[in-house]
Amino acid sequence: MELRIDWTRVERCRTLASAIVEPVEEFIAAHSTVSVERAALRLLGVDGVTADEVPAPNAIVDSLSETGLQSGVALAFGKALAETGLDPAALGEALALGRYALEDFSQTPEQAARGALRPHVEAALTRIRAQREDRAARMARLPQLPPPLLYVIVASGNIYEDRTAAVASAEAGAQVIAVIRSTGQSLLDFVPFGPTTEGFGGTYATQANFRIMRGALDEISEKLGRYVMLTNYASGLCMPEIAVMAALERLDMLLNDSMYGILFRDINMKRTFVDQHFSRMLNAYSGIIINTGEDNYLTTADAVEQAPAVLASQFINEEFAHRAGLPDAQIGLGDAYEINPDIEDSFLNQLAQAQLARQIFPNAPLKYMPPTKHMTGDIFKGHLIDAMFNLTSVMTGQNIHLCGMLTEATHTPFLGDRALSLENARYIMNTARHLGEEITIKPGGAIEGRAAEVLEGCEQLMERVAAMGLMNAIDAALFADVSRAPEGGRGYEGVFARAADYFNPFEDALRSAVAPVAS
């Protein structure tokens, strides 16, 4: 059911995306953030918390002077490594407990620091590569069900209940499990520590929680004979650190959007741009598929009106991702089924939009988000809206399919809700498996017309954004009707200009390992 598309417009949009992203990339190259630095420490093996429950990476980065920070924490930490002869984990603990201070070692020559770091950097990258290879081996051995990948969320607030839920979902047909974070975590400028059992509307993303979940899913994957993927959320104030944890614990996907935090969490844009870049380089190296958050445009604003903005955001996310070295196969661009279900022919518009994304991004594993905004307590109607979403997905060949819940308006999913939801997806996708291949879209009809309209609107929007620059465009509320100032929002204090001697061994290593992709 191919649409005829004006490909010159598509090319123009890609050119515009590059023009839009280029200046931001220059800013990124000249800056770092506290979270990038903490991520470097985590990669080296620093973990744990202080007596006051402050995570060691935070304690250490916060202990740096401003100039110390501007050179990158790796340098100071490397010096201490060289002097103390401790391994990074032990050193991190000692620093966190205040047994040493980084400034004690400021006189150590840079070369010694680099030398001391080298084996640990290598070790970290080796660990990540090992996880990547392990994943590849498991996926080859434990093949997945026919596409799309059915994706469900667990969100009880308690990692152990989540584990039960995840295993049950996998048995019921889920191919991807996402552990939704507690409200507020994305605004924390640190990553909580250890297994957690208390969250609201979700469960904290901690490395221990990642590990518990990965262990359970590995076990059930073996039992089921198919690899079940795990995902979590990076976007927020700690994108780089969560990317590290995900790499180490073999998550398979990660929510990672170049603008989500800015628009939807009022996180400073400069902070977000720098953070997303580093975290995406890591994602690229880890073989993790990112999931972008275009669905969020549609939860507050009207889905018909916002369709061009969604497409524009997909182009921009793609460009940022390419620049961070992510190949198409790892760019899970988002879209959502959020048009008011009571509009006549709304299904046709949904089809148009989904198929348009499919054709414009043929190699991206598109991530399709379910209806949420128009879901109500009428679970019976909700189940039907989900069915039409499932139908659209299978007709247009989406890849990552977040299953809608009939109880969307009521509570984070119950175990039984997830079973019904998976059954919904399986039934619809099976009964209409090859429908998309057996029909053609009427040339010049309503569906093609809608697709053309969206593409045209997208191009116009991107022209405006390119003309004023991305940061000013966001300031001017060109995305999601939200205005964010370049210096406003949370976490701006954590952004800093790199000194001339700024040093981040991981960035260097990743840059040579994951080359930017030409869009």
Partner 1 sequence: MSRVVKPYGDTQDDGKVQLSFTLPIEWSETADEAARQLVSRMGLHDVQVVEGRRIASGFSFFVLYASTSQSVDVEAIKLPSARAHAMTMDEIDAFIAERLGRKIRIAGACIGTDAHTVGIDAILNMKGYKGDYGLERYHMFETYNLGSQVAVEELVRFTKEHRIDALLASQVVTQKGSDVTNFTALSELLEAEGLRDRIALICGGPRVTNRLASELGYDAGFGRGTLPSEVAAFIAVTLAERLRHAAARV
Give me the active site residues, please.
Answer: 260, 295, 367
Name the CA dihedral angle for 195, 155, 298, 403, rounded to a multiple of 10 degrees.
120
Longest dimension (CA), the chain: 73
Question: Which range binds partner 1 by CB under 8 A, 80-88, 183-191, 206-214, 316-324?
Answer: 183-191
Residue 257 makes contact with ligand PLP by CB under 6 A = yes
Question: What is the 3-class SS of 337-406, one letter each residue?
Answer: CCCCCCCCCHHHHHHHHHHHHHHHCCCCCCEEECCCCCCCCCHHHHHHHHHHHHHHHHHHCCCEEECCCC
The option from partner 1, ligand B12, a second copy, none interacting with 296 (CB < 5 to 8 A, set by class) reads ligand B12
Cα–Cα distance measured from residue 71 to residue 419, given in angstroms and rounded to the nearest whole number: 51
The answer to whether the CB of 239 falls within 8 A of the CB of 283 is no
Map residues 434-453 to x or -, x wherever contact with ligand B12 holds by CB under 6 A. --------------------
DSSP H stretches of helix in 30-84: 34-44, 56-62, 66-70, 73-84
Cα–Cα distance measured from residue 318 to residue 519, given in angstroms and rounded to the nearest whole number: 8
Question: Any idea which residue has 């999601």 for tokens?
Answer: 480
For residue 381, give the amino acid letter: K
Pairing of strands 289-291, 495-497: unpaired
Cα–Cα distance measured from residue 214 to residue 221, given in angstroms and rounded to the nearest whole number: 10
Question: Which range binds ligand PLP by CB under 6 A, 21-29, 60-68, 230-238, 441-449?
Answer: 230-238
The option from partner 1, ligand PLP, a second copy, none interacting with 124 (CB < 5 to 8 A, set by class) reads none
- Backbone torsions φ then ψ of 368, nearest 5 degrees: -110, 120
CA 8 centroid distance within chain: 30
Minimum distance of ligand PLP from residue 249's CB (angstroms): 18
The option from a second copy, ligand PLP, partner 1, none interacting with 82 (CB < 5 to 8 A, set by class) reads none
Say which DSSP state 515 is in.
P
Question: Which range binds a second copy by CB under 8 A, 5-13, 179-187, 375-383, 493-501?
Answer: 375-383
Pairing of strands 149-154, 400-402: parallel
Nearer to ligand PLP, 218 or 266 (CB): 266
Q: Which of 236, 365, 436, 494 binds ligand PLP (CB under 6 A)?
A: 236
- Applying the rule CB under 6 A, the residues between 176 and 195 that interact with ligand PLP are 181, 185-186
The option from partner 1, ligand B12, a second copy, none interacting with 377 (CB < 5 to 8 A, set by class) reads partner 1
Minimum distance of partner 1 from residue 414's CB (angstroms): 4
For residue 11, give the amino acid letter: E
The answer to whether the CB of 133 falls within 8 A of the CB of 98 is no
Map residues 288-327 to x or -, x wherever contact with ligand PLP holds by CB under 6 A. -----x--x-------------------------------
The option from partner 1, ligand B12, ligand PLP, none interacting with 85 (CB < 5 to 8 A, set by class) reads none
Residue 233 makes contact with ligand PLP by CB under 6 A = yes
Residue 76 makes contact with a second copy by CB under 8 A = no
Residue 356 makes contact with partner 1 by CB under 8 A = no
Residue 97 makes contact with a second copy by CB under 8 A = no
The answer to whether the CB of 255 falls within 8 A of the CB of 234 is yes
| Residues near partner 1, by CB under 8 A | 155-158, 161, 165, 167-169, 171-172, 182-184, 187, 198, 200-201, 264-266, 299-300, 376-380, 407, 409-416, 419-420
| Residues near a second copy, by CB under 8 A | 1, 341-348, 380-381, 383-385, 387-388, 391, 406, 420, 423-424, 427-428, 430-435, 437-442, 445-447
